[in-house]
Structure formats: structure tokens, C-alpha cells
Structure 1
């Protein structure tokens, strides 16, 4: 037991098999005692591909830091009697368990949730990506949409489930009442991978995906990729200062000297002239040269790395981002997703053998009388009410972290300055608040404060003295340069928790690189995988904002764990997340396989390699598609009953060998049906299938409507009502988020300084006159 980890003393019983395994792994990384309960024959995930020398690398990566027991019904109930949190992948006997132990937090992670018309539907990674709105924006114009690589849906949903679990547990610490936390992978994918109704990247000019074009937009100009002497590089030119650097780098050509090109939309309009010039500049340079010169000129730049290059990249090896898999000599796996108090919350013990800890765990159990019904209030509350957060976060990941806490009741004060506004305020139309910004900053207060001035720093420190959490995602070293590093803030408030996120982490040779999500995806190997296999230049991740939203959730889990630990030991501390390492953690079993079988992790496009049919099929209508995925022989028999083919292909190897014939049969069948009709008929037969749902269609999806996925938000500076996502899960005792409008710059400066610091109106007036404080007028 590592008492320095924040969840030390919290017991989690893990009754999962595939779904939910990473949820409990995240809690285990942060110190929880996670006891995995399996049947006598072992969990199916112990045999899940990829398998090397009889070892499932999926199981090895998703179950490290846990203990494993084989337990029958009676022993399972005894274990639950000692648990704080139960994570399960099935409905089962949840009501009985909650009646037996009312203070238990039960987290049910299922594909579609415990209620709703899709509750019993079948799902896979690809069906979730199709239905959630992620697929419709992935790919190049004029081509079929492209399914994103890896396991982004399931891994992101697991992170959201961990956040929801700790929210309910934190609530229990205050009121003694447990909860049933109903997590739907479908809904979590729609919220955490690339949300259509969430804050978007600043290159989008404040326009959310819900208001974008019907088809796949040609977004390659936003974060362009250029071939070079030894591969490819990506650049991000968003701010005027970055364009100035690029202009200088190009040699200040007269044809690009127009001052109007400092504006984002003008540069995008001129991309047809600017990008060929950049391409000529890069053509004879290596990736290393381009990245170095990009740093010199202040142009955010990253090399596109292959998976094998990622495994041995200097940044990741210096930071110890990978560790060995003891049961597979030579294999590497990501060593955790987050740092706590300057230490990696990574692998302490390998994934357990089947039943490895049965004796020691069951022998230590003492008879526990079932709890009586709690007398605590059984109403709904906002668990984080009473916490104060000073939010210096910018762009997407910064916005999301603060919003997650604000949604759960925390007093979140967004601190910025009119001279250096949040980049996500940048819009094409000059609006004070865009829909994108409104999504990302709802429920926050706005404080305009100049942290470049001594007076501004002094005011910030006074706020720190009365706060619980400071969050930022500046380039590493920025907070220290302002005199606001953890050591300085700890001197003001020893209980303060300081959380930061950055592209590559606070240490290592890449730590000071300018970083945006598209650059992180490139350097972490994801961009190279997110392309059409038949086109070397078919990169298709430009319109996504991944991993920002999920990185914010990883950080939120660790921060809330620190707050839970602070209740025990009274100590503050630090949390640090590298976005690149979040991506590595979400590709962990694929990267582990690549480490022992180099060249196996490659773009697969829309053809799943492990069975057939497994892919994307055209439906009736214009650019309409349905994902159909067969997971094994039973799925194939059910599908073949629907298709009524004469194909006798009882095993996966037979089906893979005849993929073309099967695909032709599926295409002929789907072509006569709308995507929703095809989905409904196949799901009725028990076949995992999903239409490619466009973002606006989510609002009318019957399952989302039934589960209250959307609510309506109003902002005084946005004319139309805004459909906005609800909470991260369905709870019994956690209130829905409030829907207070996002602030304009400095909107609440006066109110915050008077309420929190007890300043007089005259004092605030003087600070405004001096330019230390900004106030919206």
C-alpha cells in the first residue's frame, strides 16, 4: 500500500469483463485497492487479442495494479460488504446489492445504459463511433468516411466512468449515501471523444460541429501536413504571432506581406498560395530540422511519428512513459496516464494471474453485518459545492477541466486578461461569446486580472488562500515565471492543489514545445494511423479535437482523487497530465503488440482485420452509411439469417478469406435501406450495427431523448436556444448540472472581488482604473 497515492484506503470491487476494466485500472493507478472478481473459468478478456505467447496484452495492460480472486456468490457478497465502489459491466443484481449496502457506489458501465430503447442492443468500438457523431466528420471529401483508429470510444468512456464514480463517491463522503451510476458507452463517446455539442478547437472560429457542413469538411487547411525529406510534419498557425513567425521563416515574401493575413480566416482563404510556399520550404529539410526551426520562429510544429518511433522517442523514454510487461519479454506498455505530486501514477504490480489473490483476500474478510438503510438525506445534490477553483485553463482541454468541476457545483472562477484572452474566444464574426465558448465555459464566473502586474499576482494569491484548486494548461514553466508555481502557492495555502496539463508533460526534451492537439496526435503516432491505407497523404484527423476532452477527464479523475486524499491527510499537492501520454494510454495494448511485433500497428481503414464482415457499408440516400461488425461465429449466423446468403463460412478464417464476397452481399442488402432501417433490422437480429449518425441528428435520437442526454441552454448573447449535453452519467443522488451562461471577459470581476476577498466597491474601481482588473461594460 502506497500511502502517498490519493485513493489509498478506498476499496473497489471490479466485476467487469472488457467493459469497465480500464475504469477500475485508473482508480488502481491512483492507489485504490482494486479486487477483480472472476468466474472459475476466468474472464473472457484474458483471451482477448492481441495475444503473445499465451498472454493477452489487452488483459495485461488493462488490469495492472489489481488483485484477482475467484469468488462464488457468497464470497462476492462478502467482498461487496467491504467495498466503497463496485464497477460492473452488467445490470445483474444491482438492486439487491444496493439494498444490502446502501452506502455502496455501484458503477454500471454498459454499451447503452440500463434504460432506453437501445438498452439491449449489441455494440462494438466502431458502432459507437458511427452512432455518436464522430465518424461523420472523419475522412476526406469525396470519399467514404473513415473510422478512427484504436479503441478511442471504449477507452474514453472508461475515463468518463472513473470520473462519474469518484463524483458519486465524493458525494457519499459528505452524505453517507451511495449511488447507482449508470454509464453508457454510447453517450460517453458522444461527450468525450469529439463532442458535436462541446467546445471546439480555436481554428474553428467558435463554430461548433453541430453547425458545420452536412458532409465531411475539408479541414486539411486547419492543421496542414507537409511531406519533407524523411517523412511528414504538421504545423498549427493560429495566433497572429505564429503567422508572423511563419512569415519570417519563409523569408518575408512580398506576396504574403498583407497585414490582413494576421487574421485566421484571411489566411485560410489564402491557403492555396501560402501552403505551396511552405511545402517548398520543407521539402528538402528533415523532420528534426523543421521542428527545431519551428521552435526558433515560434511556429508550432511536430513530426509525424510511426508507432515504433513513438516507442523509442526521446521524450517518452526520458519521462519513463513506457515500462515492461513482465509476462512477455521485450514488450512495452504505457506506464500510467498521470503524475501526482511529481511521481508517475503508473504500474506498481503486473496484471494478476487468474485467482492469484483469492486466499489472501478472502482470508482477510471479516464477517460484516449488512448495513441498515441510511438515514442520510436521499435527495439529489451537487457534490462539489463548496469547492473553489481558480481556472486559468485555455482552449479546449483547459475549458473542459474547469467545466467538469463547475457542472458538479464547484465555484469555478475563470481568470484571464483582455491583453491575453483565451484563444477559444477567437471567432470569425467578432462575437463576444460563440456557441463553442458557451459550451466549454458554462457555469463559470469571469474574472479579468492582469497577472503580469505585481498587484494582479498579489490579488491572485489572496484568492488562492481561499481556494481549493488552481488549474492551468500553459506551456510548462509559465506559472513559475509569473511567480505562481506550486511552491509559491503552497506557501500561501498548504492545502492548495495545483493541476496542469501540457502537450508533452512538464519534463523532457519536448516539454517546452508549443503544443496543440493536432501536434500531439502527430507526435504520438495517431495521425499516421488515422488515414486511408491506400493513400500515403490520406490523413483524416484534422477536424477532430481529440484528445482534449478525454485528457481533461483524465486530469479531473486525478484531481478529484487528490481532493479525496486531502480529506484524509490534509495535504495539497500537484497533478500533471501530458496529452501525448493520454493518447499512448488509449492505444496501450496496440502499442504493446507493436513493441514485440513491429509493423503490426498500421492504418486499417474501414476493414476490421479479425473477422468479416466488419466495416462500413453504403445505404440508400446521399452519403449515408451503416457500420456492420461481426464479432464471431454466432454474430455471423445471425447476420446470415438476415441476409439469406448461400455462404457456408462457419469460422472467422473462412470469412476473412471470402471478405469480398461477404462485403458484396452486405452492400447489396444495405443499399436498399436507409441507415436507420438497416441498423434497426440488424440490431433486432442481435447483430452489432449502427448508422453513421450526423451531429444534428443526435438531438432526435430516441435513446438519447429517453435518457435526457440533452438539455436546453440559453445565453444572453446567443440568439438561439442551445442543446447542450447533460451530466457524465445518470445518478440517483447527484443533481443535473446547472446551465448558467459562460462569462464574457471580466463579467464577474467586481462581484468576485467583493464576495471572495471582501473588497469595497471603491477598491475595485481603483484596480479597474489602474488596469489591474478588467470589467466587462
Structure 2
């Protein structure tokens, strides 16, 4: 197990979230050294323990990643005893992450004001579909709804087909990242004020935050951005192009100087001076024609040779990576972008490393997602519960 050198070493975090948005927030904090105590239902645990297209050896391949670097405590929050223990853990914590529907924590007597009264330095990250206020606050909000309301779904996919999804739970992940940003900002503010605060991270707003100029463009011009498939309208050339043997290559040559290098590499240097392609605006206006011209040229090349040719010419390009490509790639290997972690059942399991890389206090994957309730006795002992007391709680189904 790798030693904890992370910048958040010593930070105590209680995670009360399930599924992706809250737990990914906890994963990031744990990756960078925080002591993340994950509270789970002692009977079923986080649903992520069962998620996955396949279940090798009956276990989810998702859980080792999103549960990594955390300590699991089984605790039934529907019982008074469970909530009392949770309050004791939170009273000693720096950060609480929760992604219940707004109002649930208040119903349990654990709203922000109540928690801050006994732990003024506490930072509470509240993750939800629509935020803690407004007419939609009480609605159930999954990632796909946030992606749609934030504008991402409408512009994703082919123009003649219904909106598509990104292939991952991008809305949940963006919300987790915004929650982490809020937590780190609140920690900095706490250094000055001595007090914590609440972070209200909404799914739809986290998606909206990365929508570039979508709203502003409509406000100023009335243009509503639509689905455009693999291109960005008016940005050319920047697309996926065919190669020999059914392979594909991504080429980005939309800058004037880069396009000139691409034209030279194609053996068509005159294209850079052609009025149809000489400027950014001209290439955008003739995007389809230009893409067809490049595709006709690229289709005669095998992918490895074409990448080598374009790299020598200084043209941004690359293959469309799949998991096998990642495991074999020299750049991934040189930077240890994928690590191999000991697992009690799988033996070894590969997963993405902790990002970004810090030069002095790097993050690390110290252990994969733990067994349900694996650390219950250990964590509860830290708040003064004896082995006998934990055994009694276990007999009652509280832990």
C-alpha cells in the first residue's frame, strides 16, 4: 500500500452519498489524502457495489474505483441510534458530503444549521439535481436530467437523431468536481474565518458551467446551438477521418498555421492559399467540402503511418482510444496514468490513477473500494464506542 503523501492528509471527511455524484466527490478527496469515512446501509451498501455491465466473480468492477481510498462504516440512518452515531462522526469531521434529496437531512435533524451549531468549522457539500432552493429543489434529479436541463443533451449526437448521451455519467462527475472545488475553496476561506460553510452543488448548474458561450450566443444573436455530430460548426478541419483497414484518426487543423502544415503534409500546399480555405471563417463556411477532401486523402493511409507522418509535420492528431489501447500506450505507461492495485478477491485490478499530478504532495490509489462495513469497528472505536457496544448495535441491525 502506497504511503499517504497527499495534500489533504489529516482532513476528516464523512461521505453520506450514494451512486456517483457524492461518492466521486469523496473519491477525489480520498485520492489526495483525506480520511474519507463512507457511511453505508449495513444491509445493502451503496448501489455502486452492484453496478456494472458484467460482474466478475460476482463483484462490481465499478466499486473498486469509486470506493477507493475510503473506509466503510455500516450504519442505518433510519434509526435514532444510527443518526446519533453519524452526528458524533460529523462533529469530529472537517467535511460532510451528502447527496440525499433536499430536506432529508433536515428531517433527520442534520440540516446545515444544526450541524454547524455543534461543529462551526464543518464544511457541508450538498449535491443534488436542482440545488437546495428554488421550485425544483424537491424533485428527484439524476445525472441525465441535469445534463438535459443544463443544455448538454440537446447538442450531443447526430443532427437527424434524438439527443445522445456522452457514454459516461458526465453530469454526475461534473457535479462532483464542482463540489470538490467548493470544498477546497471553503477550506481556504476557513483559514481566514475559522468557520465552515455550505456548498450547494446542483447537477444542472454544474453542466451549465461548461456550456461555453451557448447562452450568451443566443442572447446576442438568437442562434440556438443544435446537434452537429462529430464536428463543431464553423471549426474546421477538426473531425474524425477514415483510414485504411477500417481505422479512424482525429485531426485538428483549424488554426491558420496548423492548416498550412496539414496542407503541406497532404501534398497540397496550395490549399492554404485557396480562398475557400485560407482563413478560419472560410474553412468554417466550407467545412463539409474540406472534410471530404481530407477524408479522401486519409483513407489511403494506415493509421500508424499516418500518425507518424502528421506528427512529423506538427499537425495535432491521434487515434480513438479504447481500454486496450490505453493499457498498451507508451504515454500512459510513462506517466503511470493507469495503476495496478491489490484487491482481496480479484488479486490485481487496473484503474485510472489520481489526477492531476502534484509535484510535492501527489495523490495516489492506496487501496480499492473496501468491503461493506469493513472499517465499522475501527472507525467507531475512534469516537469512543467499545467492541461490546458495537456488537450490541450490530445485533439490533444498526451497524
1:449 — aligned with what?
A: 75
Partner of residue 528 from structure 1, selected from 144, 150, 154: 154
Alignment of 1:135-534 (within 5 A): 381-419=5-43, 421-427=45-51, 429=55, 433-533=59-159
Partner of residue 713 from structure 1, selected from 341, 349, 352: 341
Please identify, of 682-691 and 438-447, the stretch whose mean Cα deviation from structure 2 is larger: 682-691
Deviation at 1:380, TM superposition (A): 9.0
Please identify, of 689-698 and 643-652, the stretch whose mean Cα deviation from structure 2 is larger: 643-652
- CA separation of 1:430/1:510 partners in 2, compared to 1, >3 Å: closer, same or farther? farther
Deviation at 1:432, TM superposition (A): 6.5
RMSD (Å) for aligned C-alpha atoms: 2.2
- CA separation of 1:668/1:383 partners in 2, compared to 1, >3 Å: closer, same or farther? same
Deviation at 1:655, TM superposition (A): 3.4
Paired with 2:371 and 2:316, the residues of 1 have a C-alpha distance of: 45
Paired with 1:432 and 1:484, the residues of 2 have a C-alpha distance of: 36
TM-score by length of 2: 0.91
Paired with 2:332 and 2:56, the residues of 1 have a C-alpha distance of: 33
Please identify, of 446-455 and 687-696, the stretch whose mean Cα deviation from structure 2 is larger: 687-696
**Secondary structure of the residue that 1:435 maps to in structure 2?**
coil
Deviation at 1:672, TM superposition (A): 2.5
Paired with 2:106 and 2:56, the residues of 1 have a C-alpha distance of: 33
**Secondary structure of the residue that 2:318 maps to in structure 1?**
strand
Paired with 1:651 and 1:467, the residues of 2 have a C-alpha distance of: 57
**Secondary structure of the residue that 2:62 maps to in structure 1?**
helix
Is it true that 1:625 corresponds to 2:248 in the alignment? yes
Partner of residue 638 from structure 1, selected from 248, 261, 264: 261
- 5+ long unaligned stretches in structure 1: 1-378
Paired with 1:663 and 1:444, the residues of 2 have a C-alpha distance of: 48
Paired with 1:410 and 1:489, the residues of 2 have a C-alpha distance of: 20
**Secondary structure of the residue that 1:386 maps to in structure 2?**
coil
1:181 — aligned with what?
A: none
- CA separation of 1:431/1:672 partners in 2, compared to 1, >3 Å: closer, same or farther? same
1:751 — aligned with what?
A: 378
Paired with 1:474 and 1:431, the residues of 2 have a C-alpha distance of: 31
CA contact (8 A) 1:475 1:502 kept: yes
- CA separation of 1:635/1:481 partners in 2, compared to 1, >3 Å: closer, same or farther? same
Partner of residue 544 from structure 1, selected from 162, 168, 178: 168
1:685 — aligned with what?
A: 313
**Secondary structure of the residue that 2:135 maps to in structure 1?**
coil
Partner of residue 603 from structure 1, selected from 212, 216, 227: 227
Deviation at 1:761, TM superposition (A): 1.1
Paired with 1:563 and 1:434, the residues of 2 have a C-alpha distance of: 34
- 5+ long unaligned stretches in structure 2: none
Deviation at 1:394, TM superposition (A): 1.2
Q: How many residues align?
A: 390
**Secondary structure of the residue that 1:434 maps to in structure 2?**
coil
Paired with 1:656 and 1:449, the residues of 2 have a C-alpha distance of: 57
- CA separation of 1:689/1:567 partners in 2, compared to 1, >3 Å: closer, same or farther? same
Per-residue deviation, residues 538-595 of structure 1 (Å, max 9, x unmatched):
x321632112222212111111121122222211221110111011110142221112
Paired with 1:657 and 1:460, the residues of 2 have a C-alpha distance of: 60
CA contact (8 A) 1:414 1:445 kept: yes
Partner of residue 669 from structure 1, selected from 281, 290, 297: 297
Per-residue deviation, residues 124-172 of structure 1 (Å, max 9, x unmatched):
xxxxxxxxxxxxxxxxxxxxxxxxxxxxxxxxxxxxxxxxxxxxxxxxx
1:734 — aligned with what?
A: 361
CA contact (8 A) 1:435 1:718 kept: no
Partner of residue 576 from structure 1, selected from 193, 197, 200: 200
Paired with 1:464 and 1:448, the residues of 2 have a C-alpha distance of: 15
TM-score by length of 1: 0.48
Deviation at 1:490, TM superposition (A): 1.7
- CA separation of 1:398/1:435 partners in 2, compared to 1, >3 Å: closer, same or farther? same
Paired with 1:407 and 1:551, the residues of 2 have a C-alpha distance of: 17
Deviation at 1:677, TM superposition (A): 3.3
Paired with 1:479 and 1:473, the residues of 2 have a C-alpha distance of: 10
2:349 — aligned with what?
A: 722
